[in-house]
A and B are shown apart, each in its own frame.
Chain A
Amino acid sequence: MNNRINQLFQEKDKNILSVYFTAGYPELNDTVTIIQELEKNGVNLIEIGMPFSDPVADGPVIQNSSLIALKNGMSVKKLFEQLQNIRKTVKIPLILMGYLNPVLQFGVENFCKKCQEVGIDGLIIPDLPLNEYLSEYKSLFEAHQLHNILLITPQTSDERILQIDAESSGFIYMVSSSSTTGMKQSVAKYQTEYFERVNRLGLKNPQLIGFGISNHETFQNTCKYAGGAIIGSAFVKALEGELTLNERISGFVKTIVNPE
């Protein structure tokens, strides 16, 4: 498989900035604007969150944005409608991130087909573990040119990291600390030991670090240990406020990449 995700990592191996947002938040129809503005401001990769009523791996910020998005009327079907023409304007890789049940109800095969049709490059489904992925989903994802991006944490053993690396593609999502999203604001010593442990394994997939990356300092720090970093809760939080949506997005990306 060789899609926009592979091309990104071939062209850029340092300081990749990936941003997550919840589709349908703050307003139902902000999805396309947010994607276009993120690209315009130099973000390299976007994770479009599909809201779920019971997001167990998420902290309060993304729980809240998911709840509001659902109240606004977001659904998997609606999201695909919004993304129908996204590839006419957006070139960077796009990933859909969300929980398994809405995907199951949409129909896994149908879901993969729609992803390919609108130009999605990868999926992150935190509650689809490796063994279930291998037995039921892998061939379908691959047939539709979709990378399945799997998570590893400080508690993941070397043996399992190597197994995940062998069975997944695109990149590896390194969860920086054992936590739900948006819970920690700094990078502690045990985390750098974990980052170094992963680096020594010499994985075939590049890695991005996520969870707890919220500002220029944490972005810089984590970028030392991986191809780049993922920001979610801090961006979702920044979408609230007085300014226009475009100003909020450009202002936020600037504080991460170049705060001067």
Chain B
Amino acid sequence: MNYQVNDKGYYGEFGGAFIPEMMYPNIEELRREYMSIIHSYDFRQEFISLLKHYVGRPSPLYFAKRMSEHYQSNVFLKREDLNHTGSHKINNTIGQILLAKHLKKKRIIAETGAGQHGVATATVCALMGVQCVVYMGALDVKRQAPNVKKMRMLGAEVIPALSGNQTLKDATNEAMRDWINNPVDTHYIIGSVVGPHPYPDMVARFQSVISEEIRWQLDEQLGRELPTRVIACVGGGSNAAGAFYHFLEDEAVELIGVEAAGKGISTPDTAATLTLGTPGVLHSSHSYLMQNEDGQITEPYSISAGLDYPGIGPLHAHLFKTGRGKYLWATDEEVLQSALLLTRKEGIIPALESAHALAALEKIKLQPEDVNIINLSGRGDKDMETYLDYFGY
């Protein structure tokens, strides 16, 4: 089975580039150029060097001893939370800012939900001295205030998206409108494996460093490259795509994505797109969506702003449809408990997004000999207020 994108930009029936003509020149330029740029010697040298010396890669693969005792199985954490800016998002923004430089773009735009991608984008723009505009849902601007301040300190302009529910989907709409209105000199750094081809493939490639490292790190520690399973949270699905990427063809490795069920999959307050959604086109890609019978996109909900998105990347739609990936869900309540468990067992406060992956350990029948990799995609600093409110410290 082939899980890579085909030359038309599709993963099976999912993906494509359903773009208005106004975006065609930019998307076509990317489609034509991205592979030769990211495989060029200059690009590789600079990308690898920045990941090592600036981001702090490789991120540790940490055997979580007390978590393993608790679950009577082997739990490893891939520590993306230790990256510069606190999450996996920087892997992609480093890649895209270098790409933008090769394409001679002078202005960067981005969308952000929790603000992690916004901060990662503002960071690389500061690093390269490029103008940066970040669109963020007005509601998220309020609930993620520390990240907004960080972006502004980094020199980015943060524009609140006032349409719709004022969250990630609306920020994405505004970023696309900006690109339509600024067709020359601007590059749009999409933060996940969503959007028109070639973004899902390009972002997955930049994030694939995660699974590349897991393979040799596991070999180093256990003398084997393949774990029993890899578990990652999915909103748009970029950290999961990166953690799965180099295991896609190794069918013995279970790939498990965990969606945000919000208040529960039988309530309207949920973001479990694969569990509840149906196929359609949003943000220029054919994938699963949360929508009503008229094809209007419905508003998702999750306690974690980074998973609060009504779509999912086409790679995950394909893995779901073919059965290569298994997609579970976790509620806000379960996630908060899992976050506290990790904090108390290992002294690591995870991001709410990443705690969804941890919550899956409660839902899978684990064997003592299993090797479970949790992609700990981000750290919990940005979520302290939510944690403190809930646990009442």
CA distance in complex: A250, B181 (Å): 32
Segment of B46-54, B58-66, B290-298 in the binding face: B290-298
Q: Interface stretch among B12-20, B81-89, B122-130?
A: B12-20
Asked if A103 lies at the interface with its beta carbon under 8 angstroms from chain B, I say: yes
Interface string of B276-313 (1 = CB under 8 A from A): 00001111100001010111110000000000000000
Q: Tell me whether B176 is interfacial, beta carbon within 8 Å.
A: yes
Evaluate contact between B176 and A63: CB separation under 8 angstroms: no
Q: Would A127 and B18 count as touching, CB distance under 8 A?
A: yes
Q: Which B residues touch A180, using CB under 8 A?
A: 22, 177, 180-181
- Asked if A240 is at the interface of the complex by the 8 Å CB criterion, the answer is no
Contact A76 B295 (CB under 8 A): yes
B295 touches A175 (CB 8 A): no
A227 within 8 A of B: no
- Chain A, residues 102-137, CB within 8 Å of chain B (1/0): the string is 111110000000000000000000111101100000
B25 at the interface (CB under 8 A from A): yes
B222 CB to nearest chain A CB (Å): 46
CB pair A153–B21 under 8 Å, yes or no, is yes
Chain B positions within 8 Å of A100 at CB level: 18, 281
Indicate if the CB atoms of A156 and B180 lie closer than 8 Å: no
Write the B19-37 contact mask toward A (1 if CB under 8 angstroms, else 0). Answer: 1111011000000000000
| Number of chain A residues close to chain B: CB under 8 A | 40
Q: How far is the CA of A77 from the CA of B25 in the complex (A)?
A: 35
A56 near B280 with CB under 8 A, answer: no
What total of chain B residues lie within 8 Å of the partner, measured CB to CB?
A: 33
Q: How far is the CA of A178 from the CA of B18 in the complex (A)?
A: 18
Residues of A within 8 A of B181 (CB): 178-180, 183
Tell me whether B173 is interfacial, beta carbon within 8 Å.
yes
Q: Which residue of A lies closest to B17 (CB)?
A: A129
**Complex-state Cα separation, A64 to B195, whole angstroms:** 24
Say yes or no: is B169 at the interface (Cβ < 8 Å to chain A): yes
B314 to chain A, nearest CB (A): 14
* A127-B18, A129-B21, A151-B20 as given contacts; A103 in contact with B295, CB under 8 Å: yes
Q: Which of A103, A129, A131 has the most C-beta atoms of chain B within 10 angstroms of its own C-beta? A: A129
B268 within 8 A of A: no
Q: Does A185 contact B (CB under 8 A)?
A: no
B163 beta carbon closer than 8 Å to chain A: yes
Contact check, A155 vs B296: say whether CB atoms are below 8 A apart: no
A195 at the interface (CB under 8 A from B): no
With beta carbons under 8 angstroms apart, the residue of B17, B177, B183 that contacts A56 is B177
Contact A104 B295 (CB under 8 A): yes
Do the beta carbons of B295 and A105 come within 8 Å of each other? yes
- Asked if A63 and B163 sit within 8 Å, CB to CB, the answer is yes
B22 touches A153 (CB 8 A): yes
Residues of chain B lying within 8 A (CB to CB) of residue A155: 22, 24-25, 183-184
Chain A residues with CB under 8 Å of B182's CB are: 178
B-chain residues with CB within 8 Å of residue A70 when the two chains form the complex: 296
Contact at A150–B21, with CB atoms within 8 Å?
yes
- Taken together as a complex, chains A and B put the C-alpha atoms of A129 and B297 apart, in Å, by 21
Most buried by A among B163, B184, B294: B294
For the complex, give the distance between the alpha carbons of A59 and B284 in Å: 18
- Starting from the known contacts A54-B164, A127-B281, 9 additional A-B residue pairs (CB-CB under 8 Å) come to A52-B295, A52-B296, A100-B18, A103-B295, A105-B295, A127-B20, A129-B20, A156-B21, A179-B22
- The 5 A-B pairs of least Cβ separation, nearest first, read A105-B295, A102-B295, A75-B294, A151-B21, A126-B20
5 A-B pairs (CB sep. < 8 Å): A54-B283, A56-B177, A76-B295, A153-B22, A179-B22
